[in-house]
Amino acid sequence: MFFARCRFSLSHTLSSSSSTGSWLEASQVYLRRFRSSSPRKKTSHDKSRSLKLSHYDTTRQRSRPDFSRPRRTTFVGKKPHELDDVAVSNANDAILAIETKVDQWALLPHVQRRMLSFGIPRRDLAELLGSFLDDVRDGMLSNEQRLAELGFGRFMLSPAEMSSGQRVDQVISQLFFAWASHPTTQNTLREHVPTSTLNVISRLCKIADLSFPADLFPVSRSMRRKIIMHVGPTNSGKTHMALRALAAAKSGLYAGPLRLLAHEIWERLNKGQIVPLDMFPEGHAEPDTTINTDIVEETGTKPTLRKQGNSKYIRQCNLRTGEEFRVVSDSASLLSCTVEMAALDTPLDVAVVDEIQMIADPARGSAWTVAVLGIAARELHLCGEEAAVPVVEEILKHTGDELVVNRYERLTPLVVENESLYGDLSQVQKGDCVVTFSRNNIFALKKRVEESTGLLCAVAYGKLPPEIRSEQAALFNDPNSGYDVIVASDAIGMGLNLKIKRVVFEVLTKFDGYVERPLSVSQIKQIAGRAGRYGLHGEPGGFVTTLYSEDLPRLKSALSTPPEPLTYAIIDPSESWMEDVAQILHPESSIQALFEVPSYVSKVRPPFRAALPSKLEDMVKFIDTRARDMLLADKLMLKNCPTSWREPSALDILAQITRLYKREVQVDLNAVLAVAPLMSTLEGVEKWISEGAIPAPEKLKKALRVLEDMHKTLVLYLWLGFRNYMAFHQAEEAHTLKGRVEKALDWCLRQVSGQHDDDTFEKAKQAKAAAELEYHQKRRTKEVRDAEVRKGVVFAEVVAAARRASSRHG
């Protein structure tokens, strides 16, 4: 008589008093299916271990004064990942890290939820996970041949990632799917796992494969491009020669991280302010010291980047950002754009991609990766930090392109002062930039500095529209404006040309939505490096210090530390890839499953890494509740749209947009703005302006917040309209309102500083408007017009059908 044997697998003990009675502890024993095979040999891994999870400290206290009221947020602490803090002796031993955590990983509720959402039946999950654990315990990760079959090289963890529970989770999950889809494994599993389940795994892994992203760009692969990297610290002039090469090209593009940078390159090319590389600059001109890109400081009367344009150097150039397409000429051969809007697989002579180090940015890095792989330029210039060189070198091993690296040194010295300000704001001087990381703190510090020194302060922070940040920078840079100090966040680290003599860090930590985290070495260098541009404050060079003495040693250490090389480039699957994978997943699966496949299932080879949205839970909650019945293409558009997934006001706006889109198809701009008191606030500020009223500071600050939200709403509407202009059809109205909001914001900021001389600023704005280039918003060729008409007819039929259906249900 045959008796099946029941086998149990015990998880590690978790020592956390706060989790007593939790589901995880209640399910630390799980039952494996009955099996008739002989028992596996015991290994050292069968011995019980006790692993302690670290507690997340959210109670960090500061001994220094807070210049603002306490930050109000619903996120008082972020729950740590269960696999955080891998305890291994060698930080480079990924195998030991996996072996240490794999048993705990298999029991995590979110891992099992994820497996079910990927299509693995519940009845087979325990068998699959148990067999995977058995193979790991039996030494699978010590078998070099087996590791080679599974492509283990792509599962390596960098030292910095050893304590990242999420990254360890991704690596183990990818290893599991590589193991489960391998023919050798499947032959063994067929005895206990249905063929249909194994086919689901094989099909998912095959379709989700992201092994060769370079092959997605056939035109670029048909060329042998010359890649020229211009790398160096801030204020090293690394972008200068690349811009001149672009101005000399028959065809080309500039791709930058901000629409502000794209706009200024577009403007300067069209006005003839950039002398082409193949032309000698004529004399009697002033250098352009207002450009925000990193150019060389030029002296004399023959600068190559000029304050005033010359008709000999004019190059017709169009502008394309996420919100608009400005066409100077239908036949223009140059394009200035944000990186996400770069033209791919279009043969070009020269292309310039700015801030290449953003290739590893979790949120936007994929745009830089696509640019490096897909821009079909015979000469591709990549400008940025030295840290990006190793990862670009690895990428080019996949493309076979030629690489030249030009390295630049800082043009002016950067000196760390021997002493801090010891918390004394009266020591703030003309030309200082005081850096802090809370919007409330910025305005509180501004007030304190103005009271302590009598100096007026401009401001720059992330929520302020780029156009207004640029206006504030211009006020600070103008020696006759009266604004001698700027109080700013890390928004100054990119895209703003500021004539800063000294950077003063109020703190070296930043709130990330959950807790205060230390700034990275790269962040500190990027911000500190803004000091001393062009040496326009007397002696050449810049200075940096801290407001408090306890931060000064860390500042010195960060600035003396060599940049950490980037080890990966972010990739994000295409819409067609998403559609293919969605066909495999269960129709009722959360959109979260689709968004997690690239990071937890896909085969991704170094140096690439799949993107995982940082606000995934918030994003998924919104899409699953508000947009569940929308088309996948519409869901992906929402996923990528420029909104704040953790701000209730932003989500209210997006919910209204989604509601209108589903109900009416066409989204009325006024109905979107009616969600909050946006229009009434704008009209109220315009009334103050027309009447010459000076409202109370608190009223101004409240109006500023609302106007910032309104500007973001208009940018969102324009962004959506650029992708579906038949639904978001009021782009002209949105552009007009956006201009009104920017004017109101600028006025409010000046009133906060007590600067009421409107005539001077109005004249400056009028002069700037008079110098604006002429353009139209879209191409108007016959083919485009005909296509628009055809699309309009189809769209009108869709709208009519939707309204008929709505009236029947009503």
Angle value at C-alpha 476, between 474 and 477, nearest 5 degrees = 65
Beta bridge partners of 511: 516
Both structure tokens of 680: 């009434």
**What integer pLDDT is reported at residue 784 of this predicted model?**
57
Task: For residue 608, give the 3-state DSSP assignment.
Answer: strand
Neighbours of 282 (CB within 10 A): 13
Kindly list the domain boundaries of the chain, sorted by start residue: 8-39+81-207, 214-407, 415-560, 612-809
Q: How far is CA 790 from CA 710, 727, 767, 783, 793, in A?
A: 33, 15, 42, 11, 5
> What crossing angle do the helices spanning 575-584 and 195-207 adopt, rounded to 10°?
180
68 burial class (0-12, 13-18, 19+ CB within 10 angstroms)? middle
Is-same-fold flag (214-407; 415-560)?
Answer: yes
Strands 226-231 and 317-320: unpaired
Domain 214-407 listed as CATH 3.40.50.300: yes
Q: Which residue pairs, CB below 8 angstroms and at least 24 apart, start in 631-637?
A: 632/578, 632/579, 632/582, 633/575, 634/661, 635/591, 636/575, 636/578, 637/720, 637/723, 637/724
- Of 664, 806, 654, 684, nearest to 726 (Cα)? 664
Q: How far is CA 359 from CA 369, 370, 466, 644, in A?
A: 6, 9, 22, 22
129 burial class (0-12, 13-18, 19+ CB within 10 angstroms)? buried
Q: Which residue has the tokens 């593009």?
A: 253
**What integer pLDDT is reported at residue 773 of this predicted model?**
66
Q: Which residue has the tokens 């696509």?
A: 370
**What integer pLDDT is reported at residue 538 of this predicted model?**
54
Both structure tokens of 436: 């802090």
Both structure tokens of 714: 């208009």
Provide the whole-model pTM: 0.84
515 burial class (0-12, 13-18, 19+ CB within 10 angstroms)? middle
In this prediction, the residues of the chain whose per-residue pLDDT falls under 70 are 1-80, 82, 84-92, 156-163, 299, 513-514, 534-539, 754-810
Are 530 and 559 spatial neighbours (Cβ–Cβ below 8 Å)? Answer: no
CA dihedral 97, 102, 107, 113 (to 10 degrees): 90
Task: For domain 415-560, give the CATH superfamily.
Answer: P-loop containing nucleotide triphosphate hydrolases (3.40.50.300)
Both structure tokens of 789: 């008409």
Determine the Cα–Cα distance for residues 482 and 500; give it in Å rounded to an integer. Answer: 15
**What integer pLDDT is reported at residue 782 of this predicted model?**
52
Q: pLDDT tens digits, residue range 770-780? A: 556 666 665 44
Q: pLDDT tens digits, residue range 448-468? A: 999 999 999 999 998 888 888
**What integer pLDDT is reported at residue 345 of this predicted model?**
84
- Of 26, 24, 34, nearest to 130 (Cα)? 34
**What integer pLDDT is reported at residue 490 of this predicted model?**
87
**What integer pLDDT is reported at residue 51 of this predicted model?**
29
What is the chain's alpha carbon radius of gyration, rounded to the nearest angstrom?
29
Are 501 and 543 spatial neighbours (Cβ–Cβ below 8 Å)? Answer: yes
Give one word for 534, left, alpha or beta, with left for phi > 0 and alpha for psi -120 to 50.
Answer: left
